[in-house]
Each structure stands twice: as structure tokens, then as C-alpha cells.
Amino acid sequence: GDSVTQMEGPVTLSEEAFLTINCTYTATGYPSLFWYVQYPGEGLQLLLKATKADDKGSNKGFEATYRKETTSFHLEKGSVQVSDSAVYFCALSGSSASKIIFGSGTRLSIRP
């Protein structure tokens, strides 16, 4: 079945460092890919998405490119801030109105 594998955390970086969180997927067909962020004590917020190969999703300085050839959707940010500390989930959605499959989540902590 469909699955998402993402980099295990926790990841601790200094402010202004470069961030990469790896995510790869297994799916039949052409899924949509997402990154969700969960701040402490809150629900999930959609961070960015891409619906077809070579699409780049971007938001709040974060980017991820849908790479069909490597079945990857790695999350990157050039300069992280303390406020980026959260748990990040990579996810995929298959056909219309299908369920979302989540990766295990990566906890990110940014030191001032």
C-alpha cells in the first residue's frame, strides 16, 4: 500500500542554518504530496503542497519539489528561525477524496 518515509528526528539546528528534512514515498499512480506543520499543542496546518511531478510547493520560506524519478519530496529552508520549531509531517493523498497517509513526523528544534 501507499506509504511515506521521512527523516527521523529530532533535528536541532542553530538559527539561520539551512534545513533539509528528507521524505520519500511509495504510491500507485500519481499522488499529491504535502508537508504539514504542527506547532506545540496545536493541530495540523498545511505548509505546502505539490500535485504533479516537478511542481514546487513553497510557503514561509520553505520549499519542496515533487520528484517522481526519485519518489521524493524533501523539505528545505535556507535560513531557519526559532519560530520554525515544530513537528513536520510529510504526507500523500492518492485519488480524489482519498485518505491522507502521513510520515512519522520530524521534530525540529531551533536554537537562538
Partner 1 sequence: GAVVSQHPSRVICKSGTSVKIECRSLDFQATTMFWYRQFPKQSLMLMATSNEGSKATYEQGVEKDKFLINHASLTLSTLTVTSAHPEDSSFYICSAVSGTGHEAFFGQGTRLTVV
Comparison of 93 and 110: residue with beta carbon closer to partner 1: 93
**Buried-state track 72-84, b at ≥16 Cβ within 10 A, e below 16:** bbbbebeebeeeb
Residue 70 Cβ vs partner 1, minimum distance, rounded to whole Å: 22
Chain contacts with partner 1 (rule: CB under 8 A): 32, 34, 36, 42-46, 49, 51, 89, 93, 95-105, 107
Comparison of 17 and 100: residue with beta carbon closer to partner 1: 100
Comparison of 17 and 85: residue with beta carbon closer to partner 1: 85
Residue 16 Cβ vs partner 1, minimum distance, rounded to whole Å: 27
User: DSSP letter at 99?
Assistant: P
- Burial of residue 42 (CB within 10 Å: 0-12, 13-18, 19+) is exposed
